[in-house]
Amino acid sequence: MPKNPHDVTDDVDSSGTINRTKIVAYAAIAVALITGGLLMPMPYSGRIPAAIGNMAHGPLFALMTIALLMLWNHWAGSRRNAPAAMHSSVRRLVAVALFLFLFGVAIELVQAKFGRTPSIHDAISNGMGILAGLCVTVANARRKHARGRSTARCLWATAGVLIACVWWQPVSTLQDVWAMRTNFPLLGSFETQAELERWYFNRCEGQLSSRDATHLRRSLEVHFPVSEHPTATMVELISDWTAAEGLECDVTLDADHPEPTAEIWIQVIDAGKADDYHDVLRKPFIIHRGETAHLVVTHDELTQINAGRALDLKNIQFVDLQLRNPPCPTVVRVDFLRLRM
């Protein structure tokens, strides 16, 4: 007699418990491994490992959705030609999606206790991965019927679009990492949103702007509030500056600035800095309202002795753009940050 594809009797022993117990054990092990992987601190730092990790969220939760639905269907069996069968399937889809989404949110909330940072982006990626897994599951069921093949193709395409949306930001990050390396000695052109990931804004805010661009189409616009030493810091850069003849950039003080001038400092910081940063390179510049100034730090200044030592040009860590106790809110636009080679 042909085997009923929905018959689950082969999955159990004479007592009806052994194989199901194994399934539960395997599922528990898988959940433990996945949970541990999601909570484990990243072994590497930097944007590349972070981007690869972000790319994994969507496909991982899609596979979890597919696997959990397959496991549930295998466990519960199917009642063909029963009016309640479709309603049961819908309930399973909703239950699995809700369970995995709450599981993903809980993981993000708990991550802070394990040395990782909770991320709304990761939670959204998990949710989109779950939707992709639902689309694939339904598509695989629909493709068995002639009338459902076009629906299945649409669902597969939808799943692909969902994963592509999840990957959009991390792929942009990886492209910017590549651009940072290939465009060197250009340090900043500020043409893409991902380039802002190279910067840390302490007591100030940064955004892309189409105003006062001197290189291509955009510049970096920094809003400095009235605060103590608000600083825009470039934290992702090529560290070996041994061949550099100088550092230069174009800086414009907003035309609506209430004062005719402002003072901005450029700081170059290497790995050998003192704890209080007293031995790093600092150079002040006066910029004028509505005018673009070409700021230059010369090679002699990069190699000069500061507090008894010179910068280690093989291991530059940060470049700061800083205002010291600005008397009023200040808007500055920066473009074409580069090394002179």
Q: What is the pLDDT of residue 86?
A: 44
The 10s digit of each residue's pLDDT in 198-254 is 999 999 999 999 999 999 999 999 999 999 999 999 999 999 999 999 999 999 999
Q: Tens digit of pLDDT for each residue in 72-95?
A: 877 765 444 444 444 457 888 899
Q: What phi and psi, each to the nearest 5 degrees, are found at residue 239?
A: -85, -20
pLDDT of residue 49: 85
Contacts of 210 (CB under 8 A, 6+ apart): 217, 218, 219
CATH number 2.60.120.430 is the correct assignment for the domain at 187-340? yes
CA atoms of 203 and 187, how far apart (whole Å): 22
Where do the domains of the chain lie?
Answer: 9-180, 187-340
CA dihedral 186, 189, 190, 193 (to 10 degrees): -60
Element (H, E) at 84: helix 83-110
* pLDDT tens-digit readout, 28-37: 676 677 666 6
> Given pLDDT bands bounded at 50, 70 and 90, which one contains residue 70?
confident
Q: Which two tokens stand for residue 76?
A: 């519960």
Alpha carbon distance 142, 154 (integer Å): 11
The three-class DSSP label of residue 265 is: strand
- Contact yes or no for 201/222 (Cβ under 8 A): yes
Residues 173-211: tens digit of each pLDDT: 999 999 999 999 999 999 999 999 999 999 999 999 999
